[in-house]
Amino acid sequence: MKSRTIKPPAEVLYKKELMALQKYDKGAKPANWRLSPKAVRTFILGCDEPLEIDGEQVYITKKFYGDDTLIERCIVTLAGNRGLMLVGEPGTAKTMLSELLTAAICGTSTNTIQGTAGTVEDMIKYSWNYAMLLAKGPSREALVPSPIYIGMEKGIITRLEEITRCPSEVQDSLISILSDKVLNIPELGEDGVVFAESGFNVIATANIRDKGVNEMSSALKRRFNFETVFPIKDLSLEVEIIEKESKKLLNQSGIDIKIDRDAVEILASTFHELRNGVTVEGYRLDKPEAVMSTAEAVSVYFQSAMSAYYYDDGNMSMDRVVQNILGAVMKENRDDLNKIKNYFTLVVKQRSTKEGGLWKDYYSAKKWIK
């Protein structure tokens, strides 16, 4: 099989869509933006009519499902002078949104800092190439710019993933950059000032399960507009996402296998109902502590389809699905196993008699929950 990038960046994956949008874009653009806010919105939310480019019809696909006005607010924030902070439960597409926004606005989604407990101020500002520093002394050539530095210099957006995982003094080094849009490099003397070009901004993401958003300094909080990304409320939308994303992942792995819509529906119901602690009929359930996110459901389906492809002649089975659900759920707490067991005894059993079909197979796969 031909080798290929495991996960191409959004600007590569959707290159044609971006080119088509650029060609027909007549909307007003903030300085240094590749697309107008209207076209950025279309890129993320999709449109029904195809755009023609070089004799080819290009469809702009819908990439984010949920609150459309959230997308508009995010785009407008980025055109202003505050940063954008996307907060929410794990797996609610915060990273995906930040990649799509940067790919559409500045043509690159890879100017990124990944926040960790080990992030230091140098990674936010700049560091030095020591061999060059010794040879030439402090100079622009010896300086290694950070993604923030690059964003300021080129007038593009810098993504800061999981900002709350960074130590607070590192987070605070962003305050002056975000308010004054200036980065000082005292080592370079008079030349040591970088003024941000128009188009520079920051999109940060933070997970509310990892403690941290509350501890962020209020000075830093004021430099950002906060937007919360909520889990998907509508079950049929969740089915659609799991189907579409699994298809995409299988395609990228070179696996040719048909998506089993019934299996996707059962998987989506399980995740949806356990996450919300209530069934579609209105019965209360114990919520597991594990993150029952859409992203996790996608990964369960993808894993199960891979097993079907490699071990079971392409036949998707509910045994595989249940095995993978257990893997996803057992990350946090062993008590969660009982909650899954109860779900099978209370909900899946009833549906297997009432609806039959694949629900029956699903119920018989309960044997894996020990």
HSE-up of residue 246 (Cα within 13 Å, Cβ side): 29
Nearer to ligand ATP, 62 or 349 (CB): 62
Give least dist CB 160 to ligand ATP, A: 12
Give least dist CB 86 to ligand ATP, A: 8
Reduce the DSSP state of residue 126 to 3 states and report it. strand
Residue type for position 132? M
Residue type for position 251? N
Gap between the terminal Cα atoms of the chain: 39
Structure token digits, residue 134? 């010794």
How open is the CA angle 348-240-324, to the nearest 5 degrees?
50
| DSSP tag of 117 | T
Closest CA to 278 of 356, 359, 346: 346
Give least dist CB 32 to ligand ATP, A: 25
Nearer to ligand ATP, 194 or 206 (CB): 206
Give least dist CB 162 to ligand ATP, A: 7
Give least dist CB 56 to ligand ATP, A: 25
* Residue number, nearest CB to Mg ion: 95
Nearer to ligand ATP, 169 or 234 (CB): 234
**Is the Cα dihedral 70, 71, 76, 80 positive or negative?**
positive
The site for ligand ATP (CB under 6 A) is made up of 64-66, 88, 90-96, 205, 207, 232, 241, 245, 294-295, 298
**Is the Cα dihedral 194, 195, 200, 205 positive or negative?**
positive
Nearer to ligand ATP, 207 or 352 (CB): 207
Which option in Mg ion, ligand ATP, none does residue 295 bind, with CB closer than 5 to 8 A by kind? ligand ATP
Stretch of residues binding Mg ion (CB under 5 A), selected from 90-98, 181-189, 217-225, 361-369:
90-98
Nearer to ligand ATP, 205 or 317 (CB): 205
**Count of residues near Mg ion by CB under 5 A:** 1
Which option in ligand ATP, Mg ion, none does residue 344 bind, with CB closer than 5 to 8 A by kind? none
Question: Exposed/middle/buried for 186, CB within 10 Å: 0-12, 13-18, 19+?
Answer: exposed
Rounded Cα distance, 20 and 46, in Å:
12
Please, which of residues 329-358 interact with Mg ion by CB under 5 A?
none
Using an 8 Å Cβ cutoff, are 86 and 98 in contact?
Answer: yes
Which option in Mg ion, ligand ATP, none does residue 171 bind, with CB closer than 5 to 8 A by kind? none
Nearer to Mg ion, 36 or 293 (CB): 293
Structure token digits, residue 136? 């030439």
**Residues in contact with 236: Cβ distance below 8 Å, sequence separation at least 6, in sequence order:** none
Cross-strand bridge partners of residue 126? 145
Nearer to ligand ATP, 222 or 233 (CB): 233
Structure token digits, residue 3? 């080798």
Give least dist CB 350 to ligand ATP, A: 28
Nearer to Mg ion, 87 or 365 (CB): 87
Using an 8 Å Cβ cutoff, are 214 and 172 in contact?
Answer: no
Interface residue with Mg ion, options 42, 77, 95, 279 (CB under 5 A): 95
Which option in Mg ion, ligand ATP, none does residue 294 bind, with CB closer than 5 to 8 A by kind? ligand ATP
Cross-strand bridge partners of residue 213? none
Count of all residues that appear for the chain in the document: 370
Give least dist CB 92 to ligand ATP, A: 4
Nearer to Mg ion, 89 or 243 (CB): 89
Give least dist CB 87 to ligand ATP, A: 9
Give least dist CB 116 to Mg ion, A: 13
Q: Which residues bind Mg ion (CB under 5 A)?
A: 95
